[in-house]
Structure formats: C-alpha cells, structure tokens
Amino acid sequence: MIPLATVEQETSVETIAGSEILVEMLIRMKAEFVFAYPGGASMPLHQALRAKRERIRTILPRHEQGGTFAAQGVARTTGRAGVCMATSGPGATNLVTGIADAKLDSIPMIAITGQVPQKFIGTDAFQETPMVEVCRAITKHSYLVTDVRDIARIVKEAFYIAETGRPGPVLIDVPKDVQLAELPLSEVDFDPPFELPGYRPEIRKAAPEQISQVVAAIKRSKRPVLYVGGGCILSEASEELTKFALRTGIPVTTTVMGLGAFPGDHEQSLHMLGMHGTAYANYAVDESDLLLAFGVRFDDRVTGKLEEFAKHGKIVHVDIDPSEIHKNKEAHIPINADLKEMLLALNETLTDSDIPDIAEWNSQIADWKQKHPLSYGDSGDNIIQQWAIEQLYEKTKELDPYIAVGVGQHQMWAAQFYKFNKPRRWLSSSGLGTMGFGLPAAMGVQAAFPDALCVDIDGDGSFQMNIQELATLHCEKLPVKILLLNNQHLGMVTQWEDRFMEGRRAHTYLGPVDHPEALGEGDGTQLEETFPKFVQIAEAYGVKARQVRSKADFPAALDEMLNHDGPFLLDVICNYQEHVLPMIPSGLTVKNMILE
C-alpha cells in the first residue's frame, strides 16, 4: 500500500506537454503570429496555441499554402522568421510550395507540421507523409522530433538557423505522441544550449586586402555599375549601399529582389535589369568596365546568355553564401562576406582621390534614359495595366505603403512602374515565381503592420490561386487593398504565345472554352463579359468590391479603395495582349532586346 504522503507528492508535480513547450518556445523566440490550419495530427499544438492566445496570435488561413505566404509577408518586411503550421499528410504537403519559395528567395521561415505517432511512421498510416524527406532539398534544415526533451532546443536552433547567415526555411515535423508527451516543468530548460557543431554562421568580414582591391578597381574604372540584389536587403545594408553610391556617383541597378535597396526615384537609379529590366540598365551593364555585384546570384532572368553577360568588364562579387561565388559567373574579385560589413569597411577606406571621374559615363546613361524610357501606348479610355500602376504610385508614394504582387505581367509592370525608396516594402515571389503569392503575402504584412497601407497588385489568374484568403481578410479584420488587373488571360504566357508561337492560344484564356478568345480570335481590347464575377465573389466573402472599366472612372474608384476602412477589391478590367517591354528573350543577350 502506497503511503498517502507519497501520493500527494506525486500528484502535485506540475507537468507540461510537448505541444505546450513548443508554443512557449515560439513566444520566447519573439514570434508574434502563427499562420496555422489545424488537423488531427496538430490538434494538441492548436490547443496549446489557444491557451496562449494572449501572447501569440494564431491566424487561420483558408489554405495551408496561404499560411506559408502570409508567414513570408511577416518575414520579408520585418527580417524575423515567419511561422506557419499544418497537420500531417495533405496539410503538410500543402506547405511545400511556400517552403520552396522561401528557400529560393532566402526568406527566414519556420514551418511546423504535425506528424502521425511514431509507432505508425512508415506504415502508410492515414495522412502520413515523410515531410523531412519531401522537403530535404528545399529547406535550409529539417527536424523530425522524436523526444519531447528535444523540443525546446530544436525550436531555438530552428530560429537561429533560419535567421542567420543566408536566411531560409526550417521544417520541424512533430509526431502527435511527442506533442502529447509530458515532462515535469522543472526539467524543461527554455534556454537550452545549441547542438550545431557543423553550422557556424559568424558574420564574415572582407579581408583588408580585398577591400583594397575593390578600391583600386573603382579608382581605375570609367564605366562602373552597381548591380544589387536581395542580399543587400537581407543584410540590412541599404543605408551603407546608398551612402557608397551617392558618394561615388556610380549608377545603381537592382534585381527584382533588390528593389528598394536604393531609392528608385533617384537620378542614379537605373531601376531593374534583366529580362524585363529597363533598356538603359541592360545597356549600362553590357558596356560596363566594372560590375560591382552585391548580394546577387547571377540568375538566368538577369544574365540571359551567361558568357555574354557583362563580358567587357571586371566583376566584383560579394555574397554571404560561399556556394554562390563562381557558381554561375566567374568573379575577378570574389568576396565571401556579409555585405553590410563589407560596405562599412569600403566606405571607411574610400578616399576622395579614389572616386573616379565618370561624367562621360553618366552622360551616356542619361542619353539611354532619354531614348529608351519605360513607356506604353495610348489606349484611349480603356485601362491598361501600366497606367493603372502609375496612378496607384502617384496616389500612394507618400504613404510608405507595402506592395505585394502575384506572378505574371502585373508583377513585372509593378516592378517597372512603382518606385520603391525603402527596403522591405516590396514583396514578390521572385526565384520560384509562384502564382497566388500576392494576396496572402499582403495578409501577413497587414497582420504585422495593422496601421500601414498594404496593397496586393494582382492579376486575375494569379489571384484565383489563393482567392480563398479573402475570407481571412474579413474574419481577421485585415484591411488589405487589392488592385486586381483583370485581363481574363494568363498574360505572361499569352505574351510568349504572341512573340514566339504566332499567337496560337493554348489554354491561356481563363473564360469558357467555347468563347472565341479561347482560340485567340480577339482584338486585344477589353472584354464585354468577364469571368468569374470577382465583385460578387468578394462580397460573398464579406469584402467590399467594385469594378471599373474606364480611365474616366478609375481615379474615383481608386480613392474609394484606398479610403475604405476595411479590405477592398478593385476589379480593373484591362486590355489584354499588352506586352511587358523591354524584353530579352530567355537565353539571349542585350543585343536581342525587344523594345516595342
């Protein structure tokens, strides 16, 4: 017979479940939001989140993929890891695209998935998928938690891995039995030591002799160009970059991920380069004698034919990830270092005598800008997408807005015609090019910055990929504004059909298959009947909406959208067969650039 005192002692021990440890660690890692969709294998986690709702906000997306992009919205604008969560099986696999997207754009994210109990792993149990194996190539690191005692350490490590060095997504797969397992609270260390012997992301600094090499190259140059990517934003180096650029007078072009690293409305800005970059940016890079490639990866959408890209000059390549150095393009001065630290050293070392005379070069660039500005044709009273984006820019540029986009023509037009003067205001799925990114990304930003203006510039094809998140906007009171540029087509694919396939339409019209447009038998102007009825759909989700077709009506409609105190969808019926220009066809060079 057990003594009464022993029974009382045992029952008074305070315990904590694995799910509760995980949620407490999220809070201690300063996660303010979790975008989580529940299911059988993640129910304990959701119960723990419910209990901590005063300390961490759980937002229910209407699709797990929407949750990944919302988490990215937080991460891309704050620099801190966003958090998303799903159940096992199909819930977990619905995160995969968003995880891959974060990996390619170097976005810190923690993806937490429920998993079937350990005794069922490998038995093809209901809703079982091997998520670590599925995501191995698209995560920075992955964990399968097998012991409740490891949860605190794993969560702490996951945030550290996701946010340091070159950022990226980390997966934590948590079996249900581990979530339910309990430990005495006294045995849980909420600040455990790391166990990462192979990961040393200490801040890398350029060697003094490397800085001297860069200074010497700058001093000798006559036609230098700064080619700046997302690494500049991720390393918080925009201020140092701008200081360097303004002091030297070197013109600046950015990748689509680098928009906002240098003020887009400054006269030194060449804006975006590459396939749909400005003609003057591409000409400048092609003729440069020194290319200062800072936080870039020489991806194919920028370089086209690699051996012809920037072949006339010396290349300085600075990147925090050593695997990017020489990966696509050989650098004459390769520097594996944190870009901010490198720019700090460069700015300290540079003297007035090191600054080259590039007046003639700047005159040449000014001439290219005058001859080849971004432009578009006269569409009468019909609305074209470039004009609509310009109107949005003029209305909102002083409001410091956050602009998210889907993927397609509207994405490239937004990159061209909306000028960003600050980093972390532009959200674009750039490496993976994931349609459906814009709306949930803006949703995440709005949660993180409830008083800010958050606009999703979207296309009708991309928007429908995650249209269900309209429900989240309404239910979570997130006043995102949606400028829907509706041309009834998959616009970018249609453009390629026009340019390279003699205009043959192959499933790029988004309306009924028996419509003449399905075969391309139209004149490229607005369609009288549109499908689906976005205004009615939005209103069914509780979101205010309006459709507009003419330039005359657009300003008032835009004002209504921007001044509405809740979420708003403006369905803008646009001409189709508008092309994003300039365009360098895939794999070709600046000599093949299409200008009109």
Active site residues: 64, 126-127, 176, 492
Contacts of 348 (CB under 8 A, 6+ apart): none
- Residue from 413, 410, 389 nearest 401 by CA: 389
Q: Are 235 and 338 in contact (CB under 8 A)?
A: yes
Element (H, E) at 327: none
Cα distance between residue 209 and residue 283, in whole Å? 31
Laid out side by side, the sheet with 82-86 consists of 57-59, 33-36, 82-86, 109-115, 169-175, 141-144
- In this structure, the number of other CB atoms found within 10 A of the CB of residue 136 comes to 12
Q: Where are the alpha helices (DSSP H) in 297-384?
A: 300-303, 339-349, 359-371
Q: Where are the alpha helices (DSSP H) in 121-278?
A: 131-135, 151-163, 176-180, 208-220, 230-234, 238-248
Cα distance between residue 371 and residue 357, in whole Å? 24
Cα distance between residue 447 and residue 186, in whole Å? 35
Classified as helix, coil or strand, 567 is coil
Q: Are 237 and 301 in contact (CB under 8 A)?
A: no
Cα distance between residue 281 and residue 419, in whole Å? 15
Cα distance between residue 488 and residue 158, in whole Å? 42
